[in-house]
Amino acid sequence: MSIVKWPELERPREKLLEYGAVRLSDAELLAIFLRTGVKGYSAVDLARKLILDFGGLRQLMAANKTEFCRHRGLGPAKYVQLQACLEIGHRHLQAQLEKKDLITCPEDTKRYLSSRLRDKDHEVFVCIYLDNKHHIVQYEELFRGTIDGATVHPREVVKQALAYNAAAMIIAHNHPSGIAEPSRSDEHITQRLKDALALVEIRLLDHLIVGDGTVTSLAERGFI
């Protein structure tokens, strides 16, 4: 049955307007994004099938373009729309952080970095440059690939920190394995960067490692 023939408050859009987005299921939220179904499937039916095929809403949202577009009812236009929606979410979280002292809201910082990094299938090293009140000046993905002493260059980190006139920094990278435990290499990089930044009077406040649902702080572990 077409969604337009459903009782009004069972239709996803009307249900959202009446009760709020939090009351909708994953399939109902996805159906609003899809807008229409395909032959034989309403938008909600198609959404349920896609969630089942991908193994969950999160996996669908993290899929690359090739994986995403091979499914019926999806395509490049939908992929572009989804990426735009995800980026809006990231920027909303960043805007909430920008007015805060990042030292006093570590959980917000962890949540933001988790949203940015946890679903990447390769390692990404990021720098958050801060002013003297520990407010965000700039978020930057600086290195990609295997994060070790050969790929993270202290000189480049210092150069960028000076360019942004940073007074302090938080660095972070993800572990695609999902395990957020620091390696010996992570500890070594942290010390090298802390020492290099100290030479130009920039404080390294933390190094956060993002796993699957877990973010580990090397400052909390006593490494900084």
pLDDT recorded at residue 174 = 93
Q: CATH number of 101-217: 1.10.510.10, 2.30.30.100, 1.20.58.220, 3.40.140.10?
A: 3.40.140.10
| Average pLDDT taken over every residue of the chain | 88
State yes or no: pLDDT of 1 exceeds 70: no
Q: How far is CA 38 from CA 7, 24, 64, 73, in A?
A: 21, 21, 22, 6
What are the angstrom distances between the C-alpha of 204 and each of 155, 190, 207? 14, 9, 8
Give the separation between CA 171 and CA 182, rounded to whole angstroms.
13
Distance CA 13, CA 32 (A): 7
pLDDT score, position 171: 96
Q: What is the mean pLDDT of residues 102-124?
A: 86
- Burial, 119: exposed, middle or buried (Cβ in 10 Å; 0-12, 13-18, 19+)? middle
Per-residue pLDDT, 224: 84
Residues 3-14: tens digit of each pLDDT = 555 654 568 888
What confidence tier does 66 reach under pLDDT thresholds 50, 70, 90?
very high
pTM of the model: 0.72
Domain extent listing, the chain: 3-74, 101-217
